[in-house]
Amino acid sequence: MSTLLETARPATIPESVNGRIPTLDGWRGAAILLVLIGHFMPRTYFSLVRTIGGHGVSVFFVLSGFLITSRLLDEQERNGQINLLRFYVRRIFRLMPCAWAYLLAVWTLGTVWASGLVKPGELEACLFFFRNYVAFGPSGPTVHFWSLSIEEQFYLIWPCVLVLAGARRSKWIAVAAILILAGRRWLYWSYFASLPLQFTTRTPLHADALLIGCLAAIMAPQLRQIRLPAAPLLVAFAACIYLFRSFIPLCESAIIAALLLSTSGQTNSIVSRFLESVPMTQIGRLSFSIYIWQELPAMYWDTRYWAIALRLGIVATLTLASYYGIERPMIAVGRRCEAMLGTIRFLPNDPNGVEGGGAG
């Protein structure tokens, strides 16, 4: 496989601090806060919260497409090619241990305490990333794995497209796919919106958000020259949250991508400073563990404020245990495994072996 990406291009993401990009960590924090509001806020007082979590997931989708594509393009610029094996090693150790630990906990609870907690085939659908295509009801301990399944499907396909087609052709592939997917959803909006929630998690109904992030990463050097102010974009994003309660339209994904580019390129703006604040970046770093473990406490709905506080306290405890006991140690193991691959020669035109990029 000798197809390479174009080489002469500026970096798509700003300089990081200790391997982290504070603004994007802040966006992770904002996204997970939207999810928590949607899952824990008393809905009797706020009519929007039932669907506000979906807008947080949309931020995660756009951010995932943007970051993954940026990392791969920057690796291509540094090393002359992309090492897919190292990419998948990073992804496995970054995501799977925490997710598997949660599934093991759910299986254990369903076996020894709450019979019927897990339906037949539910854990298998999560393990093999097709949970978004199997309906087990509108609620349950693994319902949030629909979004993880979409992301894992994306990780399996998009990096290969980027390597085989190159950045320039991949840009037009992304544009075509975005228009087809968003156009189909728009044409049949009423039909899809009438379906039960568990039937609206199919990949074609959400993949354009990921692809918008991919496109923004490829075109970042050109788009950053436009310098859109963040405040009007935030107002537009808030309007989308208010107006759209069934699906996330293409315009919202584009606004989110513009916000990512705007705030990460303007570190002195009020919005950027807020996103880079310690609370937002810390929540962002914990966001994956929060998302994985919040579903169990969220299942047991109680609108009393003391019960909400108790359930959020349980989420915080599980999150910290997961992050420091599973997520961080396994990321370190993944980096060691990735480093071991640095001396392996994968492509015939690579005389020095493949050197991988930073943590994905």
Closest CA to 219 of 179, 170, 259: 170
> Nearest CA to 59 among 297, 241, 256, 298?
256
Question: Does 348 fall in a domain?
Answer: no
Confidence of residue 329 (pLDDT cuts 50, 70, 90): very high
Counting the structural domains of the chain, the total is 1
Structure tokens at 308: 């909400």
Q: Which domain holds residue 251?
A: 22-343
Flag whether pLDDT at 219 surpasses 50.
Answer: yes
Whether 267 maps to a domain, the answer reads yes
**Residue 68 falls within a domain, yes or no?**
yes
pLDDT greater at residue 216 or residue 340? 216
* Residue at 188 is within a domain: yes
pLDDT at 83 over 60: yes
What pLDDT does residue 7 have? 34
In-domain check, residue 39: yes
Across 142-156, 235-249, 259-273, least confident range: 259-273
pLDDT at position 357 is: 31
Is residue 17, in this structure, part of any structural domain at all?
no
DSSP symbol at 326:
I
- Does some domain include residue 14? no
Cα dihedral sign, 149-76-212-161: negative
User: Could you tell me if 56 and 237 are in contact, meaning their C-beta atoms sit under 8 angstroms apart?
Assistant: no
Average pLDDT score, the chain: 85
Residue 15 counted as domain residue: no
pLDDT of 3: 34
Which pTM value belongs to this model? 0.88
CA-based end-to-end distance of the chain: 23
CB 262 within 8 A of CB 5: no
Report the pLDDT value the prediction gives residue 46, as an integer from 0 to 100: 55
What local confidence, expressed as pLDDT, does residue 207 receive?
A: 96
